[in-house]
Amino acid sequence: MELFANQVLAGIATGAIYACMALAVVMIYQAIDHLNFAQGEMAMFSTFVSWQLMQWGVPYWGAFVLTVAFSFAAGIVIERLLFKPLAKAPILTNVAGFIALYAIINSVAGLIWDFTIKQYPTPFGSSPFLGSQLISTHQAGMIGITLLMLLLLFFFFRFTRVGLAMRAAASLPESARLVGINTSWMIALGWGMASAIGSIAGMMIAPVVFLEPNMMLGVLIYGFAAAVLGGLTSPFGAVMGGFLVGIFENLVGTYIPGVGNELKLPIALALIIVVLVVKPAGLFGRAIVKRV
């Protein structure tokens, strides 16, 4: 039983990483109805920017704020330059665009900062949290930040006019335009916010997985899985999905014999698919009822 509890705790610690990323995934999905495959790379690039700022002597929180601001702006610029012209193109063309963006960012980051692994600092320290060896103060801090972001997003979407307008633009663009919402800019704003959230996720994750251009690849896959599991329409679901995937993965690795590190991911994904077959909108998502 103690082993079980420990594994669950360890799962929550890794799950925090996925939850962070899943939040960014849901954000962009709300805004543009797509999964952005380049999101992990955008977050990685932002994290490198913050690292560079710190190398130049900017203190941690200063770099943190500057990076979030930079990412927000960069997200909007990317949308305006590259994806606004594709708004009317078929979905598959957009997906190809994401893959192209992925290749570009990955390659540019590799050229600027090369592919060696770098240490990344944490503002929370890395001593055991509350005397537990399984969860460090950094991981606890990361969980705290994730929950804080979730809370802020909830208030933003529920109680601000801009949040309401963004939701309207995402759910029914034609009607949103009729009431005078500039839907095009709402999408850009969604990109900016998703990029900013992604940068926070990146800066939280980097101390755990180390900083390098390919650091986000695995994380993004888990982030997608978590978001889909929790329900792509629900930020709360995405965060819960993140923790669940983390726990899941740890338990599978512990209790099913013959599952090495390599089979953890496929098994976790397979179980998620089983969940989806039973509950297609995800655990916490709202079912979209289509009438014809």
Partner 1 sequence: MSAAEEIVTEAPAVEAVPKRAMTLGYGTSLAVLAALIIIPLFVKNFIIFQMTMLLIYALAVMALNILTGGSGQFSLGQSAFYAVGAYTSAILMEHAGMNYALTLPIAGIICFGFGFLFGQPALRLSGVYLALATFALATAMPQLLKLGYFEHWTGGVQGLVVTKPDAPFGLPLSQDMWLYYFTLAVSIAIYLASVNLLRSRSGRAFMAIRDNEIAASAMGVDVALYKTLAFGVSAGITGVAGGLGAIAVQFVAPDGYTIQLAISLFLGMVVGGVGWLPGSIVGSAFIIFVPNIAEGISKGLSGAVFGVLLFLVIFLVPHGARQVAIVAQQLAAKLKKN
Partner 2 sequence: MVRLGIAHVPQGRGTFTNMTVEENLQLGAISRSDTKAIGSDIERMYEHFPVLKQRYTQQAGTLSGGEQQMLAVARALMLRPRLMLLDEPSFGLAPLIVRDLFRILGKINREEKVTILVVEQNAQLALELADQAYVIETGRIVMSGNAKDIANNEDVRKSYLGY
Residues forming contacts to partner 1 in the complex (CB under 8 A) are 35, 82, 85-86, 89-93, 95-97, 99-104, 106-108, 110-111, 174, 221, 224-225, 228, 232, 262-263, 265-266, 269-270, 272-273, 276-277, 280, 288, 290-292
The mark string for 78-97 relative to partner 2 (x by CB under 8 A, - otherwise) is --------------------
Nearer to partner 1, 39 or 136 (CB): 39
Buried b or exposed e, range 37-50, using 16+ CB within 10 angstroms: bbbbbbbbbbbbbb
Nearer to partner 2, 174 or 262 (CB): 174
Cα–Cα distance between 101 and 38 in angstroms, integer? 6
Q: In angstroms, what CA-CA distances link 65 with 41, 58, 60, 61, 178?
A: 19, 11, 9, 6, 36
Which residues face 136 on adjacent strands? 128
CB of 286 to partner 2, least distance (A): 7
Dump strand ranges (E) for 156-279.
none
CB of 34 to partner 1, least distance (A): 8
User: Which one among 1, 3, 81, 179 touches partner 2, defined by CB under 8 A?
Assistant: 179
The three-point CA angle 130-133-136 to 5° equals: 65
Nearer to partner 1, 124 or 284 (CB): 284
Nearer to partner 2, 170 or 205 (CB): 170
User: Which one among 165, 196, 211, 240 touches partner 2, defined by CB under 8 A?
Assistant: 165
Q: Which of partner 1, partner 2, none binds 66 (CB below 5-8 Å, type-dependent)? A: none
Q: Which residues contact 47 (CB under 8 A, 6 or more apart)?
A: 67, 120, 199, 202, 203, 205, 206, 211, 215
Structure tokens at 157: 């979407």
Phi, psi of 134, deg, nearest 5: -85, -20
Tell me, what DSSP letter sits at residue 118?
B
The three-point CA angle 100-103-107 to 5° equals: 145
CB of 175 to partner 2, least distance (A): 4
Cα–Cα distance between 32 and 42 in angstroms, integer? 16
CB of 118 to partner 1, least distance (A): 18
Specify the stretch interacting with partner 2 by CB under 8 A; choose among 45-53, 75-83, 168-176, 273-281: 168-176
Matching residue, tokens 């939701």: 167
Specify the stretch interacting with partner 2 by CB under 8 A; choose among 25-33, 57-65, 119-127, 160-168: 160-168
Dump strand ranges (E) for the chain.
128-129, 132-136
Residues near partner 2 (CB under 8 A), total: 17
Q: Which of partner 1, partner 2, none binds 130 (CB below 5-8 Å, type-dependent)? A: none
CB of 233 to partner 1, least distance (A): 12
Give the binding site for partner 2 (CB under 8 A): 161, 164-165, 167-168, 171-172, 174-176, 178-181, 286, 288-289
